Amino acid sequence: MSELNGQVAVVTGAARGIGEAISRRLAAMGATVVLASRDLTQLDRVKLAIQSKGGVAETAHLDLLDERSVQHLAASIKERHHRCDILVNNAGIGLSARPLHETSPAEWDMIMATNLRGPYLMVRALAPMMIAAGSGHIVNISSLAGHNPLPNGAAYAASKWGLNGLTYSLAEELRPHNIRVSVIAPGSVNTGFSVSSGKDPGRKIQPDDVAHVVAMLVTQAPQSFVSEVLLRPTQKP
Ligand SMILES: NC(=O)c1ccc[n+]([C@@H]2O[C@H](COP(=O)([O-])OP(=O)(O)OC[C@H]3O[C@@H](n4cnc5c(N)ncnc54)[C@H](OP(=O)(O)O)[C@@H]3O)[C@@H](O)[C@H]2O)c1
- 3-state DSSP of 177-207: HCEEEEEEEECCECCCCCCCCCCCHHHCECH
Domain ranges of the chain: 8-231
Nearest-CA residue for atom 7 of ligand 1? 143
Q: H-helix or E-strand containing 17?
A: helix 17-28
Judged by phi (left if over 0) then psi (alpha if -120 to 50, else beta), residue 158 lies in alpha
* pLDDT of 1 higher than 60: no
Distance 15 CA to ligand 1 centre (A): 9
Predicted confidence at residue 155, as pLDDT, reads 97
pTM of the complete model:
0.98
Ligand 1 nearest-atom number relative to CA 207: 16
Ligand 1 nearest-atom number relative to CA 205: 3
Ligand 1 nearest-atom number relative to CA 62: 33
Give how far Cα 77 sits from Cα of 51, 96, 121, Å.
19, 34, 15
Ligand 1 nearest-atom number relative to CA 145: 6
Nearest-CA residue for atom 34 of ligand 1? 37
Percent above pLDDT 70 for the chain? 98
Predicted confidence at residue 195, as pLDDT, reads 63
Of the residues 156, 160, 171, 210, which is catalytic? 156
Which whole number is the average pLDDT over 20-24? 98
Distance 12 CA to ligand 1 centre (A): 8
* pLDDT of 55 higher than 70: yes
Least confident range from 67-71, 96-100, 112-116: namely 96-100
Nearest-CA residue for atom 8 of ligand 1? 143
Nearest-CA residue for atom 45 of ligand 1? 92
3-state SS class at 89: strand
pLDDT in tens, 141-197: 999 999 999 999 999 999 999 999 999 999 999 999 999 999 999 999 999 997 666
Whole-angstrom distance, CA of residue 220 vs CA of residue 109: 36
Confidence bin at 114 (pLDDT 50/70/90): very high
Distance 91 CA to ligand 1 centre (A): 4
Tell me whether residue 96 is exposed, middle or buried, using C-beta atoms within 10 angstroms of its C-beta: 0 to 12, 13 to 18, 19 or more: exposed
Confidence bin at 95 (pLDDT 50/70/90): confident
Q: Give the binding-site residues of ligand 1, using a 6 Å CB cut-off.
A: 12-13, 15-19, 37-39, 42, 62-65, 90-93, 114, 141, 143, 186, 188-189, 191-194
Catalytic annotation present for 156: yes
Q: Name residues whose C-beta falls within 8 Å of residue 134's C-beta, 6 or more positions apart in sequence.
A: 177, 178
pLDDT in tens, 214-234: 999 999 999 999 999 999 999
CATH class for the region spanning 8-231: alpha beta
* pLDDT of 206 higher than 80: yes
